[in-house]
Amino acid sequence: MNTIVLDTLDYATKLKAGGFTEQQAETSARLLAEVLEQQVVTKAQATEHDNNLRRDIEVLRVELKHDIENVRIELKRDVREAELKLEARISESKAELTRWVIGAGLLQTTVIIGVLMKVAKLI
């Protein structure tokens, strides 16, 4: 319950002095007191709300930190998997390139030997 200090008698008296009837002034004072009672937040309520918000923010901060760490771990794992796949593809490419170079070298050697044999037969 809110604790609002409102001097309804003084308020009603001032309304009467301003031209309100006694009934209008009293009704206005009662309604204002009710509205203030229902609508105005006390310092204790504001402090409690502030504390609740701070607690919620701290919980979210901890959760966010945990989530970020999980993403970091997953990212490191994904990067490592990509590195391993890339290393495997590079090794495969090296092996294939080596086969091509050796094959081309053998072919070239065979052609040279063939040409030399033809030349040797002509001489």
Helix locations, 6-42, DSSP H: 8-17, 22-39
Q: Residues with Cβ < 8 Å from 36, sequence gap 6 or more? A: 2, 4, 6
Per-residue pLDDT of the chain (123 residues; tens, 9 = 90+): 445 567 888 888 988 999 999 999 989 988 888 888 777 777 888 899 999 999 999 999 999 999 999 999 999 999 999 999 999 999 999 999 999 999 999 999 999 999 999 988 887
Would you list the domain boundaries of the chain?
Answer: 1-40, 41-122
Please state whether the predicted TM-score (pTM) of the whole model is above 0.75. no
